[in-house]
Homo-oligomer: A and B are copies of this chain.
């Protein structure tokens, strides 16, 4: 029996096949939906709004799945609708998996022991009820809060992205505190490095990734070099202010090792120029497709030439 490919292998294949390091963030917000989707909401009932979120995300996936390395639904926006929203999250993930896209569930889960195992059971692997490929995880509880997720990655051919150095202004409050010349974020990175060491695929990557914001390019360079075997999920591109030069230090020379997330800037592209003028309300999906193409084109200098 052949072992199924690991999450790190699947992500590398996706980057190469699609010639893209874009991670498309699926962050539905009612107030920002294109009018064509918002118009389907004829009640404030959570299941009605949730159905609109599902439709919105499916239509985005239809036009963009082939263009991106992976997609990242943000659980918070689905949870904000209550249980009906969580049902929609499950539907969106299933739809993406049907299209063959790698799915990172952005839920920043964290707990200890059997509780962490329960979160892993919920989200990681095609046999799990939510069926994600990767899950974001928050490390404040320390090593024994991550290990149950690492075990699940082994069992489910899944991966996690652990928050290391985040993109927000006050992330440094904890992450940058230095003890014996080592900031907290390096301490988290060192643990990641050890977990990956026994789990490398043929390309040299393990299933334990890191979240490192584009807004801190110096730390991104430092962490790229400290974590040669980890995929890095880079938020903070576009709407949060990071540009191509800011993410460059995160990408390995062969074009692997990093995916760059953009959410609002892509999924709500209908509402910004030049797309607002270019497309009618019924053509909002074209704006998503164009914005994704534009982001791929911006980032293409970080990749080897397309075959």
Contacts and interface: CB of A to CB of B under 8 A. Distances in A.
Contact of A118 (B77, B121, B170): B77
Contacts of A80: 118-119, 121-122, 129
Grouping DSSP codes into helix (H, G, I), strand (E, B) and loop, the A interface class, with mixed when no group exceeds half, is helix
Given A90-B83, A108-B109, A184-B177, A142 B129 contact: no
A185 to B, nearest CB: 10
Interface in A101-159: 108-116, 118-119, 121-123, 128-130, 138-145
Contacts of A29: 114, 118
Given A76-B119, A138-B140, A169-B144, A130 B174 contact: no
B175 A140 contact: yes
A143 B170 CA distance: 6
A82 B141 contact: no
A168 interface: yes
A67 B71 CA distance: 47
B139 A168 contact: no
B90 A82 contact: yes
Contacts of A81: 122, 129
B110 A168 contact: no
Pick the most buried of A86, A140, A141, A171: most chain B CB atoms within 10 A of its CB: A140
Contact of A168 (B141, B172, B177): B141
B141 A166 contact: yes
A99 to B, nearest CB: 20
A142 B179 contact: no
A221 interface: no
Contacts of A109: 76, 108
Nearest to A136: B111
Given A87-B87, A144-B168, A173-B187, 20 more contacts: A29-B114, A76-B109, A77-B118, A79-B118, A79-B119, A80-B121, A82-B122, A82-B128, A83-B87, A83-B90, A83-B129, A85-B129, A139-B140, A141-B163, A142-B170, A143-B170, A144-B169, A144-B170, A174-B184, A177-B179
